[in-house]
Chain A
Amino acid sequence: MWQPRGRELGAIKSALFALCLVPFAHLVWGVAYDALGANPVEAVTHSTGWWTLFLLCATLGVTPLRRATGANWLLKLRRMLGLYAFFYAALHFLTYIWLDQWFDLAAIAADVLKRPYITVGFTAFLLLIPLAATSTDAMQRRLGRSWQRVHRFIYLIAVFGVLHFWWLVKRDVTEPALFALVLAGLLGARLYWLLRRLARVTRAAVATSSG
């Protein structure tokens, strides 16, 4: 399996960095040139929400892809994808509290408490914060084994993201259903590995006790 060396990996990372900025650049350009259609705030909310969910799924896709292809270097891109998911989530949240609600704290609180789609979206965003905060090498070293346990919250965050999308559409669930399908595949892969490992452990245990 081909593995990029230092400079090549750097180039790949730079390209991915730029690629992930494209939706943001499009929004900035669209706002500047009034090119986001009749309801720009809605366009920004939808775009940032969509890319958050897309990038969450992309982050979750790294490990299955790595295991399927043996391209271990893909792991080196995972942190960037995850941080970009957080970046778009933060923009999404900012759009909501600022451009949509104008910092009307009472209205925001009412939304978070009363509207299930906001409740799960808000929870997902809160859960993303510690993951972003502990994403550095130093934090990873300091937390050791618990780092992985903390970062497993991404499974829940992605599920909440899909629920949030599903609950907010008026009628047409095609897109949230597609995301649900992709997410089911990504989480299903983990479940499959887990079961296989359990089976192997059990077999090994049986083998030792009978041998």
Chain B
Amino acid sequence: MPMLIRTTSDVAPSQITPKSVYLRRRAFLERAIAMGLVLPLLPAQALAVGARKLSGRPGPFSASEKQTPYKDVTTYNNFYEFGTGKDEPAIYAPKMKTRPWAVTVDGEVKRGGVFGIEDLLKLAPMQDRVYRHRCVEAWSMVIPWVGYPLAELIKRVEPTGRAKYVAFTTKLDPETMVGTRLPLLDWPYVEGLRLDEAMHPLTLLTFGLYGELLPNQNGAPVRVVVPWKYGFKSAKSIVRVTFTEQQPKTAWNEAAPNEYGFYSNVNPNVDHPRWSQARERRIGEDGFFTPKRKTLMFNGYANQVAELYAGMDLKKFF
């Protein structure tokens, strides 16, 4: 784990983990040891201990709800590249290399090209944004992300008049991404948005959470967060951003078109064919004996985004 073997001179003051985070981790580790769980979790912890600080200025749209504990946010993940178990990404993802990292921007843009991760980190001022996160599996979290609007990047690359959609491609590395050795989805993972959705000020190009760089299992080193859509729309570990005229073929939509629509806006009135979307369980907060809470239209962001879908039949374009 290279991040651990670091001489003192490598550590800038800004990189030292804040004490509260450190204590939180220590409490977790102690509990994990008590539970005999520490071995499978060790790689994730080892990396998290070396995580670098990333903070931003307070941004708009932040939810004031109780934030989901760091431990839950970083150990309960759907990231099928690292396996279908929700505990697997935290176990396997730390092996993925996130430096060097480049993101290719291509398709219908005038100023496309390859962006190094260090350049992307400096492209616009970082903001702290606390968003609700609603998974298609009817659970939810509240996560303090760090990033800046995707629109900042889009404006700089100047989409052509033909650009109507944006596709995000996730890294594909069968060496470390053990899940991609199975034909679970049509790898690499591709997700997409309509251009106006991608330009919306809520759509965040995200580099961190809880004041530090993203842990790998949460989509390091760069992902999008689209808080009014089900979680799988928010592509992780992005290596390519392609502007297209046609609606891109997206992973879950291709895998089961009747279950996962291209839009996949959070909508309590449109059930997944196999389960209801009317309610959700807030991870880390709705305890064992708490009923699930009602899911909000557009995950509670209706005031911001409803107009994007004016006149559309959301039952048809689910």
A residues with a Cβ closer than 8 A to B are 31, 33, 35, 37-42, 99-100, 102, 107, 110-111, 114-117, 167-168, 170-172, 174
Please indicate the chain B residues that have their CB under 8 angstroms from the CB of A100 in the complex.
292
A38-B76, A39-B281 known; A171 vs B84 contact (CB < 8 Å): yes
Question: For chain B, which range describes its interface: under 10, 10 to 19, 20 to 34, or 35 or more residues?
Answer: 20 to 34
- Chain A interface secondary structure, helix, strand, loop or mixed? helix
Q: Please tell me if the beta carbons of B75 and A38 are within 8 angstroms of each other in the complex.
A: yes
Q: Which residue, of B37, B75, B86, B284, has the highest number of chain A Cβ atoms within 10 A?
A: B86
Q: Please tell me if the beta carbons of B185 and A102 are within 8 angstroms of each other in the complex.
A: no
Q: Please tell me if the beta carbons of A107 and B278 are within 8 angstroms of each other in the complex.
A: yes
A100 CB, nearest partner CB in chain B, Å: 8
Q: Considering the chains assembled together, what is the distance between the CA atoms of A107 and B239 in angstroms?
A: 42
B315 CB, nearest partner CB in chain A, Å: 15
- B283 near A: Cβ within 8 Å? yes
Please indicate the chain B residues that have their CB under 8 angstroms from the CB of A117 in the complex.
274
- 13 inter-chain pairs at a CB distance below 8 angstroms, sorted by A residue, are A35-B35, A37-B75, A37-B86, A38-B86, A39-B76, A41-B281, A42-B139, A99-B288, A102-B291, A115-B274, A116-B274, A168-B274, A171-B84
B residues with a Cβ closer than 8 A to A are 31, 35, 37, 71-72, 75-76, 80, 84, 86-87, 137, 139, 182, 184-185, 255, 271, 273-276, 278, 281, 283-284, 287-289, 291-292
Q: Considering the chains assembled together, what is the distance between the CA atoms of A100 and B278 in angstroms?
A: 13
Q: Please tell me if the beta carbons of B274 and A167 are within 8 angstroms of each other in the complex.
A: yes
Please indicate the chain B residues that have their CB under 8 angstroms from the CB of A35 in the complex.
31, 35, 37
Please indicate the chain A residues that have their CB under 8 angstroms from the CB of B184 in the complex.
171-172
Q: Considering the chains assembled together, what is the distance between the CA atoms of A174 and B88 in angstroms?
A: 16
